[in-house]
Every structure is written in C-alpha cells, then in structure tokens.
Structure 1
C-alpha cells in the first residue's frame, strides 16, 4: 500500500501542500459565510488516517522504506495536518469572537496533537530508542487527544441550542 501511495504523492508533491492549504482557507471562509455548525472533526480524521497508515510499518528495518516513508509524511501528513489546523483556527476565531477563552483550550489540544504527531514520526528513534510499543501507544493517545475538542464543541453547541 505504501508503494501505491508513494506513486500518487510523488506526482503531486509540489502541488498537494499548496492546494490543501488554499482549499482549507477557502472552505473555512465559505462555511463562515453560510453560518454552518462547527464540530472540529477535520483535524482528528486526518490525524487518525495518518496514524492508521503508520501502524503497519516496521520501524526497526526501515532502510529500504525510509525514502517512501518520509516522502509520505512530508508530502501528505504534515501538509494536511497543518491545513486542518489552519482551517480550525479560522473557524474557531469566527465562531467565538466574543469569548476568546474557549478558543484557547481547543487550540492547545490541536497543537499538542500536531506536535506529538511530528515527534512520533520524525524523531521516534531519538526519543523512544526504537521501541515500537511506545510508538504505537503514543499514536493512539495522539488520536484520542485530537478528538477531545470535538467532544467539547459538540457539548457546547448542544448546550447552546437547548438552554
């Protein structure tokens, strides 16, 4: 599967990050104009997809897969995670202009998810010394942490609609 994904992303390398960031800004601005509800599911779904693709990789014998692995991370995972964080920040700022203290914990959760994912994927040998179990546990915990803001936004919007 990684071979297939490598072929697709190798053809789209210079364009995919730019297009994903521009599209996320455009969609966020359009949704703000339409006044749609915001549950914050884009970032957790992207981080879950990236983590699912990282689970089956044998990180101990990576010499022949290292180029494809890092190219996949640099070409797909990191641009999509950055664009989803940008999308969420635009939407959150628009929805909670008057109450900025609600944006802070949500933004912190998204930034922690982004930082943990970066540390897990790029610096796993230096931090975990090649222990796959610790790597897998942190991938799962990163995905769980990224869904906490969605739960908070869902509860907040239900409470707002049902006073």
Structure 2
C-alpha cells in the first residue's frame, strides 16, 4: 500500500514468550472479570476445548500475522519482551531517540509473579500454548517452561 515507506522506513516489533503471554492474559482476565476459573480451564477455553463466552482473548491470541507476510518475518528488527530494556535502548539509539530510565519498573513491581512459569504449566498446558502460538514458538525457539535449563 505504501511502497516508498515500506522500503525506506525502519520496521520493528517486540515479541513475548507465548507461555508468559498466555499466563499474563489469564491474570488480566481473572483480575478484570472476577471470574473463578483456573489456568488449565482458561487454556482449554482459548483452544476451544470448552466453550466459555466469558473467556476471550483481549487482543489477538497470536501476533504472528502482524509482522509476517506468507509466514516470513518482514520487519527489520524483532525485539524481545524478555530483554525489553536492552532491545528498546538499542532501538532508540538506532533511531536517534534519547532514552533514559527504565520502562518496566512500575509494571514489573505491580504484577510480579510469586511463582515461576514452570509452576503454572503441565505437559497438556504446554501443548495447548504450542497449538495457539505454534509459529512464534518455532521461529523464535521459545523453550517449554518444563525444560530445565543447564
């Protein structure tokens, strides 16, 4: 639609580990709906295994279509939520935008989890997230939260 801009503008996006993204969406919906559902039930609702009109993604489940064409990443740079400060600083420097301070301090402290990702997932939950975010997990090699890193 805008060939000059497409060829000449710097295009970027940020991705988040889908396991963390699904858990964040679950926490958001529990907080805002007052619902009494567990994480496993939430994932089943997202994958369509159970029908629950009260559980819906607040945004796209997968952002893959936003930065790909024909399953090819078409942006110039993909930053990661897990390294947001570092990647955002790089981006600001690349674009000549002054940046000081921290992006996440307030939000991280407000929503800090008391449990790690591996405490939330079982094998079935990992498979459900894999089904929802297959492209991102494959392309960016996001590990399963059940894999113990050495």
**TM bin (shorter chain):** under 0.3
TM-score, normalised via structure 2 length: 0.28
TM-score, normalised via structure 1 length: 0.26
Which structure is higher in helix share? 1
Which structure is higher in strand share? 2
